[in-house]
Amino acid sequence: MRVVIGYGLAVICSYLTGAVLISQGNISRITDLGFEITLTQRLDSAGHDIMNMYSIYLPLIAIALLIAFVVAAQVIRHLPHLRLIGYILAGFVGMIAIHVVLKQVVGISGIAPARTLAGLFAQGVAGALGGYCFYWITQQVGSDQAER
């Protein structure tokens, strides 16, 4: 049950972080043009993106992290001492894969900030946080299995 809860919370963590980073990446482009953006406007923008990107972005994150965590689990089975870094890297790569695959398959970058290296890296960081969340919530499962 911890694995299911950990996965769900990892997806939510990655989604929330990714949506906020997208929002702030878009605002960064606006401030580059010389416009001033208040903290309230930044928070409103982040809230808007969180509330309106879930129908498309959340399922993509769920699929990407499911694949990434399954692959990581297979590696970790043989190298259990790499559990922490394995899930963090899986989340990082999974989130970046969303954008790279969409660009290669569909020919579009649906999220403007992810068109830059910094924006793509930021999305990877959102996935890495989700990977850490999964590791943290499921670490008791790992220690229970080691005792058996």
Q: Residue 4 CA to chain centroid, in angstroms? A: 17
Separation of alpha carbons 53 and 36, rounded Å: 25
| pTM (two decimals) | 0.87
DSSP state of 148: -
Q: Which residues of the chain have pLDDT under 50?
A: 141-142, 144, 146-148
Q: Give the list of residues 6+ apart from residue 71 with CB closer than 8 angstroms, or none.
A: 90
pLDDT, position 12: 97
pLDDT, position 140: 66
Q: What is the CA radius of gyration of the chain?
A: 17
Residue 102, CB-side half-sphere exposure with 13 Å CA sphere: 19
At how many degrees (to 10) do helices 2-32 and 39-52 cross? 130
Separation of alpha carbons 118 and 133, rounded Å: 23
